[in-house]
Structure 1
Amino acid sequence: MFKSLQPSYTAVIVGAFGGIGRAVFDAIKVDPHCEKIFGLSRSSIPAIDYDTPQSLEEAATQISTEVSSIDVLIIATGALTAPNGTPPEKSVSQLTAEAMEEIFRINTIGPAITLKAFTPLLARDRRTLTATLSARVGSIGDNALGGWFSYRASKAALNQITHSAAIEQSRRNDQSVCVALHPGTIETGLSKPYARNRFTHSAEACATNLIQVLDTRTPEQSGGFFDYAGKEICW
């Protein structure tokens, strides 16, 4: 699956029971070169919950008792609709502090705390791969329609965090790769209410595409923002 990694690599998938996260987890799990894979979610053991940031640190600590380091970290969490049911805003007049806070907690703060917890576990003496699940609408340069204020802003912030994390990782390990990935419009619960049947591909095909893109990035491309076909997206 990951041809650029050494055999017997170890992976951590955060959000492993969501639509894309589960597909990524399932694809890597059957790779004979993957020695160990940890799928984390609110129902996993150990469990994680962005409402309880300490749970990320505890999960990382527990995993560190089983493996000395990890080679792959994929953060496949995200939300388009706030947990309270608030849909993406069509106008600035629809913004509420409560919904924005919820979207940022899931799309930005949670992944950032995940990076904090798991970056120390990334191997320092060989190639490592880290990816966050972003979205094309997080691109400021590509925004020609407006709307979706909270979602767009939360993903733009995630892109900045990913870029900064990539710089820090490169100082620890010049073989590291850390990128933000746009999966496309996938047949998942997140996209269905808004996709208008314009799906790009299935979750399984998406997982294959994202793994391929991540696997073929070079350290020089670390910190970048790429779509499911490997094309770079403007910030």
Structure 2
Amino acid sequence: MSRHTVIIGASGGIGAALARQAQARGDQVTGFARSYDGPLHLDLEDESSIADAAAYLREQEIVPECVIVATGLLHADGKGPEKSLKGIDPVWMARNFAVNTIGPALVAKHFVPLMPRKAPAHFAAIGARVGSISDNRLGGWYGYRAAKAALHMTIRNIAIEWGRRNDQAICVALHPGTVDTALSQPFQGNVAEGRLFDADHSASCLLDALAGLSAADSGGIFAFDGSAIQP
């Protein structure tokens, strides 16, 4: 029996690839994105649109067994990662948190109640290895690093709360590697040979990694190859 997978950010590079790969595996897929019109529109910076998207699933009697938040903000409107303290802009830093942390938390707020209560269920959000505090050796990228670290803590909180109601639920952050998308494009020159992934390859690896997890892994951070990342 196929499951129903929901992709948030389905028009983006990784999101679209996740939708394709999930469909290829036999899943029924519903995708939401900021660029979509009508009931499939969802803007992570607008909670009412997230609530409307959840209401649409409820009206369609869709019970999603898997929800993946495949969004992220690293650069936009001439702004990008800060190289030093002097580059910190409070408005830009707040937007990093709005998209990378608060948005996925709001998706969980409105979508987790729609998911199975006593059956296997997955909620995942795209995290980042650079959001690992213990792995940080280079510094910089203040807003993005901090927002992804906060996302990882948020995922842990969701996993604990959700796990009390459904001991088969799995809630994790997933690191996709460096993927050839618009998000990574300005920084691809620094990527080692063989470490820049095609979006469909990364998406397939992420789905494999997610499928390989158990409820005991809930709350963790996992890379595209299934390896655990320390917070």
The alignment yields a C-alpha RMSD, in angstroms, of 1.2
Whole-angstrom distance in 2 between the partners of 1:156 and 1:195 = 22
Name the amino acid aligned to 1:39: G
Query: Any stretches of 5+ residues in structure 1 without a counterpart?
Result: 1-6
| Structure 2 counterpart of 1:11 | 5
| Structure 2 counterpart of 1:115 | 108
Matches within 5 A, 1:189-204: 189-196=182-189, 198=191, 199-204=195-200
What's the offset of the Cα at 1:197? 5.8
Whole-angstrom distance in 2 between the partners of 1:228 and 1:51 = 27
Matches within 5 A, 1:17-32: 17-32=11-26
| Structure 1 counterpart of 2:172 | 179
Say if 2:20 is the partner of 1:49.
no
| Structure 2 counterpart of 1:206 | 202
Q: Deviations over 1:134-170 (max 9, x none)?
A: 0000000000000000000000000000111111111
Query: Any stretches of 5+ residues in structure 2 without a counterpart?
Result: none
How many residue pairs get aligned? The number is 226
Percent of pairs with identical residues: 41
Q: Which moved more, 1:95-104 or 1:190-199?
A: 190-199
1:157 to 141, 150, 173: 150
TM-score (norm 1): 0.93
Whole-angstrom distance in 2 between the partners of 1:62 and 1:160 = 29
Say if 2:214 is the partner of 1:218.
yes
Whole-angstrom distance in 2 between the partners of 1:195 and 1:180 = 23
Whole-angstrom distance in 1 between the partners of 2:61 and 2:211 = 22
Name the amino acid aligned to 2:176: P
> Any conservation in 2 of the 1:84–1:99 contact (CA below 8 Å)?
no
Q: Deviations over 1:211-235 (max 9, x none)?
A: 0000110000110111111111111
Q: Deviations over 1:87-111 (max 9, x none)?
A: 1000011101011011111111111
Name the amino acid aligned to 1:21: G
| Structure 2 counterpart of 1:4 | none
* Runs of 4+, deviation exceeding 3 Å: none
Whole-angstrom distance in 1 between the partners of 2:152 and 2:64 = 22
